Amino acid sequence: MTGAVSSEPRLRADARRNSEQIRAAAIGAFQGRGLTVPLEEVAKAAGVSKATIFNRFGGRVGLIEAVIEEVVARELFALIDRTRTVDDGGERIAYYLTAIRDLQYRQPAFNDVLLQTYPNSEQLMEICRVGSGANEEIVAAARARGALRPEFTAGDLHALVLDNALALKHGERPAREDYDRRTRYLLDGIRPASG
């Protein structure tokens, strides 16, 4: 009888440990390679079976939602908050666009969020909604300051970020110095033409 009673807490401890191992493996895999990493690789890194991921998290979307805060959301929301502290509207959009492109380069999972790779995830769609709102706010502030070409819109900013996500996800990854140089070209292109 004593053995039966003590096996219940051990099973719960094992289940908790498995869940934490899966979470840690998923965070590492998603940050390094994006949200589409095969679940078999996450399971192997966690030392569990793929079935355990389904049992604990209900599948890929459940696992993504369990870790997306650590993988993408926390950093993106902090970036948006830091951008809001930049007083000058022109400097603000330059900071924001540079920081967004940096996040896209470093975090493949962010590109999966932007591309809405998993539209059934309410959390991912909420991250997209917050990002779209930030785009509109930051572009409006820069336009009010005269820091953008008059025809440049929040939709244009959104398209530029999505185009970059597609290029990084499906194209050849550029060297960092080339990528940063292209970010400067992009910033020059959205600024008003000097008289």
Structure confidence by residue, pLDDT tens digits, 68-97: 999 999 999 999 999 999 999 889 999 999
pLDDT of residue 7: 46
In eight-state DSSP terms, residue 72 is I
Residue 4 reports pLDDT greater than 60: no
> Do 131 and 114 form a contact (C-beta atoms < 8 A)?
yes
> Do 165 and 114 form a contact (C-beta atoms < 8 A)?
yes
pLDDT of residue 2: 46
- CA-nearest of 24, 33, 185, 38 to 106 is 33
Instruction: Please give the distance of CA 184 from its chain centroid, rounded to a whole number.
Output: 22
